[in-house]
């Protein structure tokens, strides 16, 4: 029994679609503009003649950045911080979550409670800084990797996932002569691949994008990750290598944004599925 669409309903559809188109434009326009500005002539950008499409296309800003060794150093830093943290984080989190998923573990409740408590209360910026300093981690990769190594949310998500795995599988493997370690590595982890991929991706994007820990813990220029370099160029407005040359000053900023963002934009379409999936798992638990 299909009732004829009322006028109000059809009007709403039209308005809704119009609104969605506006939304898409609002979401995409800044990125398009950044791209256009990054490959346009500096004077065109400064005077506001670049609105949507690039004018007087030139790669000068990129050439400028590519020729700057600081960029490559910071790029490499970001890559290695991200890779090391993602790997270690998955290893440590899963190794902690697995025993916590076993009901017979003594003290299980206490450990979970203590972990959950850190979600609501913590020492804060300064005491954590002092710990990192005391451990002698300042100006090393470990100051970036270690303080945010385990996320309590991800720990809980993994634990829930491990708990849901059928115990018979593990029992069968044990009977076939697998030790606990082998069960974990050969049975549990492969079965948990979707969760591991989701959490790994979140950790990686987070680390790739983070700047504050680096601002706190790193003073040595050669340790700076990409985001700090980006911040220094755009927000603190420092010229690359302090040259007085202002020929590229604006386009350079846009080019730098592109360089820092493109890797994420490139992988985004392929991994979006995992992200959405991950957000849901997190949500159900949360």
Residues 102-131 that bind another protein (CB under 8 A): 111, 114-116, 118-131
* H-state helical runs in 39-104: 42-46, 60-66, 69-100
Query: Which residues, numbered 77-96, are part of the site for another protein (CB under 8 A)?
Result: 92-93, 95-96
Considering only the stretches 18-26, 55-63, 66-74, 164-172, report the one whose residues sit in contact with another protein under the rule CB under 8 A.
18-26
Residue 246 engages another protein in binding (rule: CB under 8 A) = no
Asked if residue 31 binds another protein (CB under 8 A), the reply is yes
- For 24, what's the count of Cα atoms within 13 Å in the CB-facing half-sphere? 5
Q: Is 159 in the site for another protein (CB under 8 A)?
A: no
Using the rule CB under 8 A, is 283 a contact of another protein?
yes
Residue 155 engages another protein in binding (rule: CB under 8 A): yes
Nearest to 260 by CA among 285, 220, 237, 231: 231
164 forms part of the interface with another protein (CB under 8 A)? no
Q: How far apart are CA 60 and CA 58, in angstroms?
A: 5
* Residue 50 per-residue DSSP state: -
In the complex with another protein, the residue whose CB is nearer, 46 or 165, is 46
3-state class (DSSP) for residue 137: coil
Q: CA distances (Å), 135 to each of 92, 123, 143, in order?
A: 20, 16, 9
| Nearer of residues 173 and 207 to another protein, judged by Cβ | 207
Note whether 253 binds another protein by CB under 8 A. Answer: yes
CB 265 within 8 A of CB 56: no
Task: Name the minimum Å distance from CB 188 to another protein.
Answer: 14
Give whichever of 173 and 210 is closer to another protein, judged by the CB atom. 210
> Quick one: which of 41, 82, 254, 255 contacts another protein (CB under 8 A)?
254
């Amino acid at each position: 029994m299909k009732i004829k669409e009322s006028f109000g309903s059809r009007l709403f559809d039209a308005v809704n679609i119009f609104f969605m188109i506006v939304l898409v434009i609002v979401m995409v326009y800044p990125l398009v503009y950044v791209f256009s500005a990054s490959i346009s002539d500096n004077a065109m950008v400064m005077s506001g003649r670049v609105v949507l499409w690039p004018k007087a296309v030139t790669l000068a800003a990129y050439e400028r950045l590519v020729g700057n060794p600081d960029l490559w150093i910071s790029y490499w830093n970001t890559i290695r911080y991200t890779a090391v943290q993602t790997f270690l984080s998955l290893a440590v989190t899963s190794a902690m979550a697995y025993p916590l998923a076993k009901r017979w573990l003594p003290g299980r409740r206490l450990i979970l409670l203590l972990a959950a408590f850190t979600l609501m209360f913590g020492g804060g910026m300064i005491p954590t800084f002092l710990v990192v300093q005391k451990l002698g981690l300042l100006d090393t990769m470990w100051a970036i990797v270690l303080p945010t190594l385990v996320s309590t949310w991800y720990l809980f998500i993994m634990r829930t996932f491990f708990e849901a795995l059928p115990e018979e599988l593990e029992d069968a493997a044990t009977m076939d002569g697998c030790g606990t370690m082998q069960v974990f590595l050969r049975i549990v982890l492969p079965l948990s691949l979707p969760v591991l991929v989701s959490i790994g991706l979140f950790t990686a994007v987070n680390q790739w994008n983070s700047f504050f820990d680096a601002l706190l813990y790193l003073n040595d220029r050669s340790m700076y990750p990409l985001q700090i370099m980006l911040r220094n160029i755009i927000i603190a407005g420092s010229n690359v290598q302090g040259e007085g040359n202002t020929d590229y000053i604006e386009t350079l900023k846009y080019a730098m944004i592109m360089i820092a963002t493109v890797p994420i934009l490139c992988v985004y379409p392929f991994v979006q599925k995992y992200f959405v999936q991950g957000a849901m798992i997190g949500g159900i638990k949360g």
